[in-house]
């Protein structure tokens, strides 16, 4: 797992560098396409996908990526272990230029998220977590020469939070009526609720950090949106489950769409 983690960190930071070079450049043209599902696809998504898959190739494991070729369930259903990636989670936020987008890389084994890395290209914030590793956070802008040193600089998650308010986070781009009703129910139960919106997998990171308490996802999402955050949240002692708060989310389903879920 430790060797997988080093490669995963390298892939995420390299991808973040490619994304940031386009995001900050006055010279590189931003190219945008619209995919069949009407979501945007940029050259930053494509470059990130390319560098991640090239870096992870060293492991010999198959890769399932949002921006890769579609792989039939009949092929991937026999994958015991594989990489599940979202090269640029939050493309809409990337286009809005609000900085709330991430690189997500997860190791899936037996349909469970075992290892996850999330990198925030604009800030350099780097999260990772997994079985027998714990959950960690540090900041890294440039690719380090020694990943052992990078891990020594990291802080263990979650942080301690003193606020008595229940902090709920929701999607910035998917503000559904179901989410509004969920928050209303919490407030009706005489809870002091503070609600805020954020893009990409950063919402799950806030739960893992202990900076937020609940993230209800009552809108569509895909497996690559959640897998890395799922592994990190679990390693931080948090839970990502279906709305019954008992059944864990699983991966490599025939249909890659997630059911509604909650992180707490």
Sorted by where each begins, the domain ranges of the chain are: 2-157, 166-263
- Do 2-157 and 166-263 show the same overall fold? no
∠ CA 175-236-264 to the nearest 5 degrees?
35
What does the alpha-carbon distance between residue 206 and residue 159 come to, in Å, rounded to a whole number? 10
Any idea what the Cα angle at residue 20 is, between residues 16 and 26, rounded to 5°?
165
Q: What are phi and psi of 237, to 5 degrees?
A: 85, 15
Q: Can you list the pairs that 172-176 forms with residues at least 24 positions away whose Cβ atoms lie under 8 Å?
A: 172/93, 172/98, 172/100, 172/197, 172/198, 172/199, 173/92, 173/93, 173/199, 174/219, 174/220, 176/218, 176/219
CA 255 – CA 257 distance, rounded (Å): 6
Residues with Cβ within 8 Å of residue 235, at least 6 apart in sequence? 116, 129, 130, 131, 133, 134, 135, 157, 208
Averaged confidence pLDDT in the chain: 94
What average pLDDT does the segment 24-50 reach? 90
CATH of 2-157, one of 3.30.540.10, 3.40.50.300, 3.40.50.1980, 3.20.20.70: 3.30.540.10
* Alpha carbon distance 72, 63 (integer Å): 13
Q: Long-range contact list for 54-58, CB < 8 A, 24+ apart?
A: 55/7, 55/10, 55/11, 55/14, 56/7, 56/8, 56/11, 56/83, 56/85, 56/105, 58/7
What distance in Å separates the CA atoms of residue 213 and residue 195, rounded to the nearest whole number?
Answer: 10
Q: Which positions ≥6 away from 162 have C-beta within 8 Å?
A: none
Round to whole Å and give the CA distance between 24 and 187: 41
pLDDT digits (tens, 9 = 90+) for 177-230: 899 999 999 988 877 999 999 999 999 999 999 999 999 999 999 999 999 999
Residue of 161, 127, 109 whose CA lies nearest to 9: 127
Outline where DSSP puts E strands in 90-165: 102-109, 112-119, 125-130, 134-139, 155-157
On whether the 166-263 domain is CATH 3.40.50.80, my answer is no
**Model confidence over 96-146: pLDDT tens digits?**
999 999 999 999 999 999 999 999 999 999 999 999 999 999 999 888 878
pTM value?
A: 0.95
pLDDT score for 25: 85
Arithmetic mean of pLDDT, 11-35 = 91
């Amino acid at each position: 797992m430790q060797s997988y983690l080093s490669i995963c960190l390298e892939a995420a930071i390299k991808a973040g560098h490619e994304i940031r070079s386009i995001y900050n450049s006055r010279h590189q043209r931003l190219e945008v396409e619209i995919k069949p599902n009407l979501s945007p696809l940029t050259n930053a998504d494509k470059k990130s996908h390319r560098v991640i898959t090239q870096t992870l190739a060293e492991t010999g494991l198959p890769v399932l990526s949002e921006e890769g070729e579609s792989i039939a369930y009949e092929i991937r259903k026999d994958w015991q272990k594989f990489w599940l990636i979202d090269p640029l989670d939050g493309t809409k936020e990337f286009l809005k230029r609000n900085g709330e987008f991430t690189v997500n890389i997860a190791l899936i084994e037996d349909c469970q998220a075992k290892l996850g890395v999330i990198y925030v290209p604009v800030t350099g914030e780097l999260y990772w977590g997994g079985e027998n590793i714990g959950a960690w956070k540090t900041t890294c802008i440039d690719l380090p020469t020694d990943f052992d040193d990078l891990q020594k600089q990291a802080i263990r998650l979650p942080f301690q939070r003193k606020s008595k308010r229940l902090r709920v986070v929701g999607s910035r781009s998917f503000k559904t009526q179901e989410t509004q009703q969920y928050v209303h129910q919490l407030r009706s139960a005489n809870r002091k609720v503070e609600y805020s919106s954020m893009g990409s997998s950063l919402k799950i990171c806030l739960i893992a950090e202990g900076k937020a308490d609940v993230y209800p996802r009552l809108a569509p999402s895909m497996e690559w949106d959640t897998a890395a955050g799922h592994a990190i949240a679990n390693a931080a002692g948090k839970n990502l489950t279906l709305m019954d708060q008992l059944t864990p989310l699983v991966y490599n389903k025939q249909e890659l769409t997630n059911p509604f879920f909650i992180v707490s």
